[in-house]
Copies of this chain bind each other. A is one copy, B any other.
Amino acid sequence: MATEIKENGVNKQFAVPYYEIPYEKFFQFGMSVDSIVFGYHDDQLKVLLIKRGAAPFQGQLALPGDLVYPNETIEVAAHRILKDLTGIDEHNVEQTKTYSAVDRHPVARVITTGVYSIIDIAKHDPHASAWAEGVYWTSLEDVPQLAFDHDQILKDAVDILRNKVRKEPIGFELLPEKFTLADLQNLYEALLNVKFDKANFRKRILSAKFLKDLNEFQEGVPHRPARLYSFDSDKYDELRANGFSIQI
Contacts and interface: CB of A to CB of B under 8 A. Distances in A.
Contact of A14 (B4, B17, B56, B101): B56
Contacts of A200: none
Contact of A100 (B17, B56, B73, B109): B73
A102 interface: yes
A58 B108 CA distance: 33
A142 interface: no
Contacts of A58: 1-2
A100 B131 contact: no
Given A11-B56, A67-B15, A73-B100, A30 B30 contact: no
Interface string A66-91: 01111111110000000010000000
Given A29-B27, A72-B102, A55 B108 contact: no
Contacts of A54: 2, 13-15, 17-18
A18 B56 CA distance: 15
Interface in A15-49: 15, 17-18, 21, 25-31
B30 A27 contact: yes
Interface residues of A, number: 46
A109 B70 contact: yes
Nearest to A15: B67
A111 interface: yes
A10 B108 contact: yes
Contacts of A17: 54, 131
A109 B101 CA distance: 21
Contacts of A180: none
A111 B27 CA distance: 11
Closest 9 CB pairs of A and B: A74-B100, A11-B107, A14-B54, A29-B29, A73-B100, A98-B98, A29-B31, A2-B55, A26-B67
25 contacts: A1-B55, A10-B108, A11-B55, A13-B55, A14-B54, A14-B55, A14-B107, A15-B67, A18-B131, A21-B69, A21-B70, A26-B68, A27-B30, A27-B108, A28-B70, A29-B29, A29-B111, A31-B31, A31-B100, A73-B101, A74-B111, A75-B100, A98-B113, A100-B113, A111-B111
